[in-house]
Chain A
Amino acid sequence: MPEPVSFEGSPVDVREDIVAAHSLFWRRLAQAGTWWSGAQRVAIAAEVRAARACRLCGERKAALSPHAVSGEHDCSEEGRAALPDVAIDAVHRVTTDASRLGKTWLEKTLAGGISDAQYIELVDVVVAVTSIDFVCRGLGAALHPLPEPVPGEPSRVRPASARMEEAWLPMIPSGGARGSEADLWRGRTGNVIRAMSLVPEAVRDLKSLSAAHYLAVEQVTDPGVGRTLTRPQIELLAARVASLNQCFY
């Protein structure tokens, strides 16, 4: 089967594991997920790209408070056809102004008609597409064309062990990845791995893409592990990107 992605335009050859991880996610993107259909997942991806050129998002980003500016988002056709307004707004805000999101905003979003698990799957698609698109941009390659949605029903799997702890949404406890979630992590793990565990497939996406783009989760806590870039070079890039995004984490 041909890979659904290419890196046309890149001046350098791209590692096979990156091609494989992008291809795997792109195939999964087209299919029904845990709470959204394939058409809705592809629509979320289309909205991620629309958000980068959205006038309202630009005005909000420039405003002292994101709550001071109202209006309508510049949407994709796919988004307008397949997503509720509250989901479109969430996609745009996570894409363009995530550092100023807050718990009160999230509570209003959930009250607006999407569930906590739908929100997590939406975040999973937003962050995966963001990550993949920025790798392409960094390499000077064209963005991968969005896939055609595949018909199918969401699995609607919610882990029984997920519970409210320190984050805004339920997570699987650090030592609690068992049963059908036993592959998510062994023993204990950090909050950033658990953050999307209300939708276990989102953690699987995170692990797959992180292993190709950065390091396998198991390698992260060994500061001696690097790639062609040394580990200090990798961490300098990571910290700079976090700072540019005004991310405390």
Chain B
Amino acid sequence: MLLRVSSEMQGEEADLSAIIDSAAAQKSGVAHGASLIAFADAVVDGDDESLERARAALLAAVGPEALVDAAGVVGNFQRMVRIADSTGIPLDGPVNLFTADLREDLALNAFGSAENTPQPSAPLRALARCLAPLAGYAFRIVGRLYRG
């Protein structure tokens, strides 16, 4: 959801299939998306040689400060996924509602941890579709309530 909302704020449209299909990385719509995805794949699952190549390619594409950002984000989400999966937390209500169609499109409901989140009812999903153009605003309003 944050990928979609932040892309829209920048006047871009991200192709979210790149999240689940590295072959679609070239058309992600995000600048240097293919290099970023190749780097994430190599850090998480790759051998040392493929990681070296992906790191060098990303460094050439985005520079040293952004490479550090990228390594930080990959490390961060190696943590966040394990927190969610090892504690059984469900998606927060507004995120669950506004991403229901997206999760279906990307087949994310097939992941085991989907069992921890009840699916929103059909009427609520229909309402969420109507309100989808306002999702960015809604996200920021909810964000002010959820101040961390």
Bound form: Cα–Cα A15–B108 in Å: 34
Determine if B68 and A139 form an interchain contact, defined as CB atoms under 8 angstroms apart. yes
The one of B43, B63, B143 in contact with A222, judged by C-beta atoms closer than 8 angstroms, is B143
Bound form: Cα–Cα A100–B108 in Å: 14
Bound form: Cα–Cα A213–B116 in Å: 27
Given contacts A220-B148, A236-B28, contact A214 B88 (CB under 8 A): no
Nearest residue, chain A, Cβ from B21: A243
The number of residues on chain B lying at the interface, defined by a beta carbon within 8 Å of a beta carbon of chain A, is 81
A195 within 8 A of B: yes
Given contacts A185-B148, A209-B76, A233-B32, contact A168 B87 (CB under 8 A): yes
Determine if A167 and B90 form an interchain contact, defined as CB atoms under 8 angstroms apart. yes
Contact with B along A204-225 (1 / 0, CB 8 A): 0011011011101110111110
B-facing residues in A158-213 (Cβ within 8 Å) = 166-169, 174, 185-196, 206-207, 209-210, 212-213
The one of A138, A186, A206 in contact with B43, judged by C-beta atoms closer than 8 angstroms, is A138
Chain B residues, CB < 8 A from A234: 6, 69, 73
Instruction: Identify whether the interface residues of B are mostly helix, strand, loop, or mixed.
Output: helix
Bound form: Cα–Cα A133–B107 in Å: 30
A245 within 8 A of B: yes
Bound form: Cα–Cα A98–B65 in Å: 31
Bound form: Cα–Cα A229–B65 in Å: 8
Determine if B66 and A229 form an interchain contact, defined as CB atoms under 8 angstroms apart. yes
A114 within 8 A of B: no
Determine if A94 and B36 form an interchain contact, defined as CB atoms under 8 angstroms apart. no
Nearest residue, chain B, Cβ from A127: B79
B124 within 8 A of A: no
The number of residues on chain A lying at the interface, defined by a beta carbon within 8 Å of a beta carbon of chain B, is 86
B62 within 8 A of A: yes
User: In whole Å, how far is A125's beta carbon from the nearest beta carbon of chain B?
Assistant: 11
The one of A100, A106, A207, A210 in contact with B112, judged by C-beta atoms closer than 8 angstroms, is A100
* Residue of B41, B43, B68 with highest tally of chain A CB at under 10 A: B68
User: In whole Å, how far is A136's beta carbon from the nearest beta carbon of chain B?
Assistant: 8
A54 within 8 A of B: no
Determine if A228 and B79 form an interchain contact, defined as CB atoms under 8 angstroms apart. no
The one of A138, A206, A216, A224 in contact with B83, judged by C-beta atoms closer than 8 angstroms, is A206
Determine if B82 and A130 form an interchain contact, defined as CB atoms under 8 angstroms apart. yes
Given contacts A94-B86, A127-B79, contact A233 B36 (CB under 8 A): yes
Chain A residues, CB < 8 A from B18: 236, 240
Determine if A233 and B30 form an interchain contact, defined as CB atoms under 8 angstroms apart. yes
User: In whole Å, how far is B104's beta carbon from the nearest beta carbon of chain A?
Assistant: 12
The one of B31, B32, B73, B78 in contact with A130, judged by C-beta atoms closer than 8 angstroms, is B78
Bound form: Cα–Cα A18–B69 in Å: 10
B39 within 8 A of A: yes
Determine if A238 and B86 form an interchain contact, defined as CB atoms under 8 angstroms apart. no
User: In whole Å, how far is A176's beta carbon from the nearest beta carbon of chain B?
Assistant: 14
Chain A residues, CB < 8 A from B145: 187-188
Extra contacts, 14 of them, besides A98-B82, A188-B147, A220-B143 (Cβ < 8 A), are A12-B65, A12-B68, A18-B72, A101-B85, A138-B74, A188-B145, A221-B142, A228-B69, A229-B66, A230-B31, A233-B30, A237-B74, A244-B40, A249-B80
Q: B-contacting residues of A (Cβ < 8 Å)?
A: 11-15, 18, 94-95, 98-103, 106, 120, 123, 126-128, 130-135, 137-140, 166-169, 174, 185-196, 206-207, 209-210, 212-214, 216-218, 220-224, 226-249
